[in-house]
Amino acid sequence: LTPGLVSLLVLFLLQRSNTSLVRLNDNGYEDLVIAIDPGVPEDGKLIEQIKDMVTTASTYLFEATQKRFFFKNVSILIPENWEGSPEYKRPKHESYEQADVRVAAPALPGRDEPYTRQFTECGEKAEYIHFTPDFVLGKKQNEYGPSGRLFVHEWAHLRWGVFDEYNEQKPFYSGKSKKIEATRCSTGITGKNRVYKCQGGSCTENFCKINSTTKLYEKDCQFFPNKVQTEKASIMFMQSIDSVLEFCNAENHNQEAPSLQNIKCNFRSTWEVISNSEDFKNTTPMAAPPPPPVFSLLRISERILCLVLDKSGSMSLYNRLNRMNQAAKYFLLQTVENGSWVGMVHFDSAASVKSELIQIKSDSEKNKLLESLPTVALGGTSICSGIAAAFQVIQKLNPQIDGSEIVLLTDGEDSTTGSCADAVKQSGAVIHLIALGPNADSALFPSYMVLIYKALMTHKHYTLDHHEEGETEDNHTHTQKHKHIHTPNSPPLSIAPVNTKDWHGCLSKKLKKK
């Protein structure tokens, strides 16, 4: 990093990330986040139905991927405006913006289609899955099928970048045989092409007519799969068919159909795309069935954070103290959210509390904290003393340190940091470290950074000592590569197909189409 990055580093370091936390470990997906939108009315059944959906999906996913993948642990993020419970924990890194699945009201009233926000290329991860509360609660099963199966359909969009094997704009095509076929995969899915018109409580069924211009069926014609099927593929066409347990592969893939999968993935089957993913390459089939998912319930609450600032003698070198204060000032004025609780601790060979936790409501509280920034650098260095004091500050407001945050700014010239590693690990706190000076590399990283990376999954930034006096925030850049633009009302590219359970005979109501 260039010398003057400290201030803006803090801005991006301490803002909540919008990047998915999901990782694959021993065939299991860990740290999946499902977030409930604050606008959703409180309903305990919703949490239980999310658990049921994911548990069912895990088994279906395991079989569909030839015993390769399952959901290992999942965090359900509960809104702050829902009533608290002893079983709810504070989030650490999890936030609504970076949730893999969002449970929120439909963009348009009455439109409960599950979808994945997918504006990426074939094989690339999408942004997030959107479910409505009514869908999760099972109120739309007649239209979209079992929620667990549909979750796997959407997960394939999200994680592996595959696309639907139907096409709402081109529901039929004429193949090499000159026969009109429904856009689907595989062609082993049987059914009939009909025009259904429903009015009041009755429906009429008519054969489809051929359009003289397109040589395909008329606009209102739809393909209705038969109730009894034997074909196993494909999940990306219609996972709600009872017999469907697999993705289309190279042997049964329908390359003639104008499906989105063919259009976006150069006529490759969904299984070929999945098989080429990093997930697939890094795993082998499991010999035994996987355990059920483990769920954590996290309730969003005010941010609790303590600045831990190094004022030891080595901080007087290379303008480190001034740069540290600049970073702290930038964080307080530009980054910390109103409603957050912020405290401050200084340390040299010992620690001193300069501000207990105060809730940020306006610039008044921020300015009060700024008055407590260190002005003189003297003495030895005891990082562990600073962290211990920060824990005490936090516990005065919240006995549970878990999920609270510490922003540690130090040059790292302390060889005793390993003495508090276990305590920090067990605390569950999130440590953000900004290391100032080259000696941080030798003194701080061996003991403390192992903890940072392996146990806390927190952030570290390193800055050089050579500082240009004329540098300002305008020259700064940042090292965060994650970019996420949240526009929830934008139209989705991938929407789940409706169910086929009632797609035979006369329907009781008009089927919903995207």
Q: Which pLDDT does position 414 carry in this prediction?
A: 75
Q: Which amino acid is at 435?
A: A
Mean pLDDT of 355-379: 96
Would the pLDDT of 72 be above 50? yes
Contacts of 56 (CB under 8 A, 6+ apart): 146, 147, 148, 149, 151
pLDDT confidence band for 459 (50 / 70 / 90): very low
Q: Which of 417, 358, 345 is nearest to 384 (CA)?
A: 417
Range 400-410 burial, b when 16+ CB lie within 10 A, else e: ebebbbbbbbb
Can you tell me the mean pLDDT for 394-401? 90
Residue 442 has pLDDT above 90, yes or no: no
pLDDT at 392 over 70: yes
Strands (E), 124-263: 128-131, 172-174, 180-182, 191-199, 202-207, 222-225
Dihedrals phi, psi of 471, to nearest 5 degrees? -70, 140
Q: What's the mean pLDDT in 344-354? A: 97
pLDDT tens, position by position, 295-307: 999 998 889 999 9
- The CATH architecture that domain 6-14+302-475 belongs to is 3-Layer(aba) Sandwich (3.40)
The radius of gyration of the chain from alpha carbons, rounded to an integer in Å, stands at 28
**What's the mean pLDDT when you consider all of the chain?**
84
Domain locations in the chain?
6-14+302-475, 23-161+261-298
Please give the average per-residue pLDDT across 365-388, as a whole number.
95
Average pLDDT, integer, range 333-340: 90
Q: Which pLDDT band holds residue 487 (cuts at 50, 70, 90)? A: very low
Per the listing, tokens 């709810």 go with: 88
pLDDT of amino acid 247: 98
Has residue 500 got a pLDDT over 90? Answer: no
CB contact at 8 A, 439 and 314: yes
pLDDT at 18: 64
| 479: pLDDT strictly greater than 70 | no
Q: End-to-end alpha-carbon separation of the chain, Å?
A: 49
Q: How many residues does the chain have?
A: 514
**117/101 Cα distance (integer angstroms):** 10
Q: In the predicted model, what is the mean pLDDT of residues 420-429?
A: 83
pLDDT at 47: 98
How confident is the model at residue 216, as a pLDDT? 96
| pLDDT, position 490 | 32
pLDDT tens, residue by residue, 149-174: 999 999 999 999 999 999 999 999 99
User: DSSP secondary-structure letter at 437?
Assistant: S
Write the DSSP symbol of residue 109: T
Q: 355-369, 380-394, 429-443, 445-459: lowest mean pLDDT where?
A: 445-459
With residue 358 as reference, give the H or E element that holds it: strand 351-359
- Where do the H-state alpha helices sit in 331-481? 363-370, 383-397, 421-427, 440-443, 450-451
Dist. CA 7–CA 307, nearest whole Å? 14
Reduce the DSSP state of residue 207 to 3 states and report it.
Answer: strand
pLDDT mean over 188-217: 92
Q: Answer whether residue 447 shows pLDDT above 50.
A: no
For the segment 409-429, the average pLDDT, to the nearest whole number, is 81
Per residue in 184-198, pLDDT (tens digit) is 999 999 999 999 988
pLDDT at 455 > cutoff 60:
no
Instruction: Give the per-residue SS3 of 296-310.
Output: EEEECCCCEEEEEEE
| 431-436: average pLDDT | 81
Q: 488 pLDDT exceeds 60?
A: no
Mean pLDDT over 133-140 rounds to 96
> If you search the block for the tokens 């990082």, which residue do you land on?
383
Backbone angles phi and psi of 446, in degrees to 5: -55, -45
Residue range 123-145: average pLDDT? 96
Q: Model confidence over 306-321: pLDDT tens digits?
A: 999 999 999 999 899 9
**What pLDDT does 2 receive?**
38
Q: What single-letter DSSP state applies at residue 475? A: G
CA distance linking residue 287 with residue 510, whole number of Å: 45
Q: Which of the four pLDDT bands, split at 50, 70 and 90, describes residue 472?
A: very low
Global pTM reads 0.76
- Confidence at 424, pLDDT banded by 50, 70, 90: confident
Question: Does the pLDDT at position 493 exceed 60?
Answer: no
- Does residue 475 have a pLDDT over 60? no
The percentage of residues in the chain with a pLDDT greater than 70, rounded to a whole number, is: 81
* Structure confidence at residue 438 as a pLDDT band (50, 70, 90): low
Residue the block writes with tokens 């042997």:
251
> How high is the pLDDT of residue 440?
53
Question: Residues with catalytic annotation?
Answer: 154
489 has a pLDDT exceeding 60: no
What is the number of other CB atoms lying within 10 angstroms of the CB of residue 472?
Answer: 10
Beta bridge partners of 205: 196
Kind of pairing between the strands at 351-359 and 341-347:
antiparallel
Own/partner contacts of 202-206, CB < 8 Å, gap of 24 or more, are 202/506, 203/506, 203/507, 203/508, 204/506, 205/505, 205/506
How far apart are alpha carbons 287 and 76 in whole angstroms? 29
Give the tens place of pLDDT for each residue, 235-286. 999 999 999 999 999 999 999 999 999 999 999 999 999 999 999 999 999 9
